[in-house]
Each structure stands twice: as C-alpha cells, then as structure tokens.
Structure 1
Amino acid sequence: MATINGAIRSYAAAVRRVEREQQRQAREAAKRFKALQKQQEIENAEQAVFDWNNYVETIQSVHKNCTEPINWKEIENTQNPIEPEHKSINETNIQNKLEAFKPSFFDKLFGSDKKKIEQLNKQLEQAKVTDKEEYDILHDNYLVELKNWQELQDINFGIKQKEIESYKKAIEYFEPFSDIGELGSQISLKFNKNNIDVDLHVNSLDVIPDYELRQTSTGKLSRKNMPKSRFNELYQDHICSASMRVAREVFAYLPIQYARINALSKIINKKTGHLEEQPILSVMFVPETIESLNLEMIDPSDSMQNFVHNMNFSKTKGFSIVEKVELEN
C-alpha cells in the first residue's frame, strides 16, 4: 500500500513539474509573440511613415524628372532604313542536302531512297514558305521603320522652318503628356513660331494628404491633422513643380524661346460666387533660365521668382485667381 501511495505521490509530482514547465514555456512563447507583434507594429509604422514622406516628396518633385532633349540634328543625319533582301537560306540548305543525297546500300535494298527524296522535297517546299514568312516579317518591319524615319525627317524639316504644324506633330509623335496623372487631369497647347501657350488643368486639392504621419519615440504610428498652412504650401509646391515639368517637356522637343504655362484649377470666383476653372498660376518659362537652376535643390514655389509670373497665394487661404501673364510678340 505504501508503495502504491509513493508511486501516486511521485506521479503527481511529475505531473506538476510537467504542468509548471508547460506553463513556463507558454509564458515565454507569449512573451516572444508579444515582442514579435510589437516589432511588426514598429516596422509597419516605420513603413507607413516612409511611404507618406516619399509621397509628399514626390508631389513636390515632378519637375525633377523629364524626357531627355531630342537631338534634331542627329535625327536629320540618320540614314534611311535599308530595304531587306529576299534570302533563301532555308531553301538553299535543303537544296544542298537534296543534291548531296546518295542512297546507301540499305536504301537501295529496301527501296527507301525514293521515300527519303520525297521527304527532302517536302522539306524544300516548306523551306521556301519559311523563307517567305521570314522575309515578310523583315519587310513589314522595314516599312514601319521607313514610315517613322520619313515622319521624323518631315517633322525636323518643318521645325527648322518654325512651322507651327510641325511643332504640333512633334508633340503628337512623342506624346510626352500621355501619362498626365502626376501633373493634372488635362492639358491643351497653342503653338506659335517662337513660343507655346499651355493650359494645364491641375490636380485638385485631393492630391495633398490632409494628415501627417509620424513615429513616436516608442515606435507607434501617430496620425494628426495637417495644419492648414502646411497643406496649402504643399499644394503650392505641387502646382509650381507640375508647371515647370510641363515647360521642361516642351523644351525637350521644341527649339522655342519660351513657354507660358497657365495652371487652371476649380476655384471660387469672388465676383460670381461660383466654382469656376480659373488660372491660379501663370508663368513665362525660359529654357536657359531653367537650365541654370539646380533642380534637385530648388523650392518649386520660390523658384517662380526666376521667371515672369502671376501668382496670388497665402498660407492661410491658398491660391486666388490671377490674370495670365502677357505673351510677348
């Protein structure tokens, strides 16, 4: 009996030890999970702040990216595409095999020489078809290249003559504003011999986030409403940056003296009380002046001081309607 009781006590003690060990392991696992969860929350917060900062930087920096300027002289000197020759490479290879074919002893014995010659003749016909298909592809590509070459030559000639229609064709050919989303919703261009007049229908205020993201000292994500002045300044930078980007794109394709960029936005007209699309910024950009700027370091809004422009802006109220700057004759 004593032995049985001892065994029971020993078993119970062993069970308690196992339970305590399991509880300890569970507590440690919970701590590890909580630590991992906290670390993940910190990393998520860090990524969210990074993405927010990156977006805010991007909407103020659209002027930094631009197409490489077109070298019209290089285009003028480009040789016209050469029409491909019809080559019979596949046919010649099979024809050589056919002419070199010599039936073996077994071919003659079993009469398979005729069958092999018949197969080579079929391959010969297929080779002719393949040669034709390959030539057709090369010729079609040649016609496309020739059309593009001739089109660019015509555009280049017209640009040298300061033909307005050629200016328009250059922009239509290269489509620098095909993906206009980062600049605005719509763009319209009016060409003149020495300048271009552009109406840029800019992005609405929705492009600017109305909140700020920060990471606290403990790693948590903090979201606060953006101050009105900060919001308006960001929108001002975006509009100025987008306007300069449009000018840079135009100068990359056209050898003109200046470009007037008019940023149009839906804004309350205080004279009528209605929401109307009106100019909030009008700038006369000159290519030489843009090239003299350090575009990586400029403040887009402050950089407008380098150009003749009209802009009525306050930190508290944002943009007001302005008149377009006068075009020079």
Structure 2
Amino acid sequence: MGWKGTLRSMQASARRAERNSHRRQRELERQHKEYARMEALEQAAYEVEVYENHVEVLLSVHKDCGDVINWKSLLNSVEPREPSLDVTAEAAASDALATYAPNFLARLLRLEARQRRALSRKVEEGKAEDLRRFQTAHSDWRQAHANWADERELAHRIINGDKQAKLDAIEAFEPFTEIAHLGSGIELIVHESGLVEARLAIHGTHVIPSEIKSLLKSGKLSTKAMPIGRFNELHQDYVCSCALRVGRELLAILPDDLVMVTALDNVLNSSTGHLEELPILSVAFSRNTLDSLNLDAIDPSEAMKNFVHSMAFKKTQGFSAVVALDARSFNLQRA
C-alpha cells in the first residue's frame, strides 16, 4: 500500500479507534441543539458534562497517534501492472455473429439480413465498450503508477536521511490536525544533523477553562472561578500532553529514533518586562522510551522526567521561560 493508501487507512483506523472523549464530545454537541427544550436540572447536568469532557479532551491529546509508517515496505512495494486491452465484449458479440443461424420465423419474415446487421453493430458496440473500459483502466493505472513512483521516491529519500523528505512526509500525513483545532500551531525545523524539531505555539491559557462547573446536591449548576493552582496544573498537563502527541506523531512517520519538541507560550520576559512568546518546554523524545510508557495511564507532566527536557514550572506561578534544548548536543539515530 502506498503512502496515500496508507494515509487513507490510517484515517479510517483513527475513526474506528477514536477516543471515547471525542465520541462523547460530538454526542454532546448534538445534544446542544436540544438544550433550549431541557429542564433546568437537565441543562445543569449537560453543562457539567460538557465541561468535564472538554477537560478530558485537553488532557488526553497524547493518547492518540497514527500508525507507524514502514518506509522499507513502501520502497519495495510492487509496481502497478499496466492493463492490457480486454476484448471480452467484442469477442462475445463476434461469437454471436459467427454462430448466428436464422430460425424458422426469421426465414419466414425475411429478417435474417436485418438480424445479421444488428449483430454486426453489436460487434462494433462491443469493441467500443472494450476500448472505453481499457481507457478507464489505463487512466487509473497511470495515476496509480505515478503515486507508486512518488511514494518510492519519497521512501528512498526518507531512508537516505534527506532533510526535505522528512518535511514532505510530515506534510503528506497531516498528523497534527487535532492539535490545531485545540488552538496550537506547529513549525517544523530540520537541523543540520537531520534532527527534526517541532516548535509548538501552544496558547494554552486560551484553551484551559477559567471556571469549574459542578453539580450541587440539589442538582443545580455551580460555577466557580478556577483556583490559579488548578488552572496552572491543567495548563502544564495540556502543554505536556500536546508535546507528547507531537513527539509520537513524528516518530510514527519518521524512521528516526529521536525528535525534539519545543512548546512556546506567552510568558513574562524578565529582561523586558513584557509578555512574549517564549519556550516553556523543550524535550527530546526517544523512540525506545516512548514505546516503554503506558500512555493511557501516565500523568503528562510527570512523564517529562523520562526524557531530556527543559521546563520551569511552579503551581502558584505557572510556566517560566526556559532555554530550548540545543539540537547539536544530540546524535541522531535511525530506527
């Protein structure tokens, strides 16, 4: 299967294996249309469930990932075979003409010549039908062959460590759509060593809710301002969850054993006194370590301890700017 076919397969697989939190999110969105007709207590329960689901989605970004791409398999994929002209329809019509024998009624009504002309037309129509099928098949083959050639060429470049090929592959698979929907933008850099770094503009403070919603014993809605400590913890977990997801996606697409992810957000620059978009987390994700983690059970922030990383965080203050890791200090390995 080529990378375009692999992409379609991955997308279908992702739809089948979609997280419960996302399925529930869409169900809640459908229920929103009925919100106005709900009783007050139902509305309260609905709002709390939407809130809890939103938080769950934010903290579980890292749990999804596309399938690992086998570039060697793509490089060795079988070349699509060029179709040949299949004259089935013409042959069947020619056989009917050759074996035609007028029956008694045809002889009586002198229909033999007309029927032979009709059968001759069927031969020409069969020939045209065969040609149309061949032209369609050949057009499909040309597209399939072009895709096959493209994917083999990309696989060859990937296996040889071509820097641009890495960016081309990531662009083709578009693995970061979900994160983009949550408000994060990604810039990809291939360093001189070939090490890929994703710079993630997280803007997490705009995504984390500023209130806590819960149900009172009476069933009524309680809305309170979120304590700063809780807000900062959610922000940290969200940033780390996004970083883990980006690292996983890069390692699923690339044959490298190491990638870097640097998350940026608006924080106070102590040298200027202004808010600036600066690194708040920089981490080098190794394939072996990521593969060893139980990603469904980890705390995203605590998981950073498993990797070389730079992060300054206090529950009462949130993130502080850090110096991003230096790509030159790592040796790139291939899986």
Match of 2:305 in 1: 305
2:155 — aligned with what?
156
Deviations 1:276-307 (A, max 9, x none): 22212111111111111110111111111111
Q: What is the CA–CA distance in structure 1 between the aligned matches of 2:128 and 2:184, rounded to whole Å? A: 51
Residue 159 of structure 1 deviates from its aligned partner by: 2.8
Partner residue, 1:102: 101
Q: Report if aligned partners of 1:83, 1:139 keep a CA contact under 8 Å in 2.
A: yes
1:3 equivalent in structure 2: none
Identify unmatched segments of 5+ residues in structure 2: 1-36, 331-335
- 2:209 corresponds to 1:200: no
In the alignment, which residue of structure 2 is the partner of 1:131? Answer: 130
**Cα RMSD (Å) of the superposition?**
2.5
- Contact 1:194–1:258 under 8 Å retained in 2: no
Map 1:70-219 → 2, pairs under 5 A = 70-178=69-177, 180-182=179-181, 184-192=183-191, 193-219=193-219
1:61 partner amino acid: S
Change (3 A) 1:213 1:113: farther
Distance of 1:90 and 1:221 partners within structure 2: 72
| Equivalent-residue separation in structure 2 for 1:94 and 1:81 (angstroms) | 30
What one-letter code is carried by the residue in structure 1 that aligns with 2:281?
A: L
Q: Distance in 2 between matches of 1:284 and 1:266?
A: 22
CA distance in 2, matches of 1:81, 1:142: 7
Counterpart of 1:59 in structure 2 is 58
Change (3 A) 1:112 1:210: farther
> Matched residues in 2 for 1:235 and 1:46: separation?
25
Are the aligned partners of 2:204 and 2:239 in contact in 1 as well (CA < 8 Å)?
no
| Equivalent pair of 1:62/1:183 in contact (CA under 8 Å) | no
Give the secondary-structure state (helix, strand or coil) at the position aligned to 1:309: strand
Q: Classify the secondary structure of the residue corresponding to 1:283.
A: strand
Contact 1:312-1:319 within 8 A present in 2 as well: yes
- Equivalent AA in structure 2 for residue 138 of structure 1: A
Instruction: Provide structure 1 residue ranges, at least 5 long, that are not aligned to the other structure.
Output: 1-37
**In structure 2, distance between residues paired with 1:149 and 1:254:** 19
TM-score (norm 2): 0.78
Q: Larger deviation: 54-63 or 162-171?
A: 162-171
The equivalent of 1:276 in structure 2 is 276
Q: How big is the shift at 1:44?
A: 4.2
Contact 2:182 2:207 in 1 (8 A): no
Residues of 2 paired with 1:273 and 1:247: CA distance? 32
Distance 1:106 1:302, change over 3 A: same
Contact 1:59/1:182 (8 A) holds in 2: no
Check 1:87–1:324 CA distance in 2 against 1; reply closer, same or farther (3 A cut): same
Question: How far apart in 2 are the matches of 1:309 and 1:77?
Answer: 37
Which shows bigger deviation, 310-319 or 294-303? Answer: 310-319
The residue type paired with residue 251 of structure 2 is F
Contact 2:247 2:285 in 1 (8 A): yes
Distance 1:323 1:305 in 2: 17
Question: Any idea what the Cα deviations from partners look like across 1:231-272, whole Å, max 9, x if unmatched?
Answer: 221121111111111111111121223212111223343333
User: For residue 223 of structure 2, what is the aligned residue in structure 1?
Assistant: 223
Which residue of structure 1 lines up, in the alignment, with residue 28 of structure 2?
none
CA spacing shift, 1:44–1:114, aligned 2, 3 Å:
farther
Letter in 1 for 2:48: V
Q: Which residue does the alignment assign to 1:241?
A: 241
Displacement of 1:45 in angstroms is 3.5
SS in 1 for 2:224: strand
Query: Quick one: which amino acid aligns to residue 293 of structure 2?
Result: L
Number of corresponding residues: 293
Q: Secondary structure at the match of 1:272?
A: coil
Cα distance change on mapping 1:182 and 1:240 into 2, 3 Å: farther
Please identify the structure whose Cα radius of gyration is greater: 1
Percentage of pairs with the same residue: 37
Counterpart-to-counterpart distance in 2, 1:214 and 1:135: 65
The residue aligned with 2:326 is: 326
Counterpart AA for 2:79: N
Give the corresponding residue for 1:4: none
The answer to whether the 8 Å contact 1:280/1:321 transfers is yes
| 2:261 equivalent to 1:288 | no
Is structure 2 residue 250 aligned with structure 1 residue 250?
yes
CA shift for structure 1 position 180: 4.3
The answer to whether 1:69 aligns with 2:65 is no
CA distance in 1, matches of 2:131, 2:144: 20
Check 1:112–1:265 CA distance in 2 against 1; reply closer, same or farther (3 A cut).
farther
Amino acid at match of 1:255: P
Q: Which residue of 2 aligns with 1:6?
A: none
SS at match of 2:121: helix
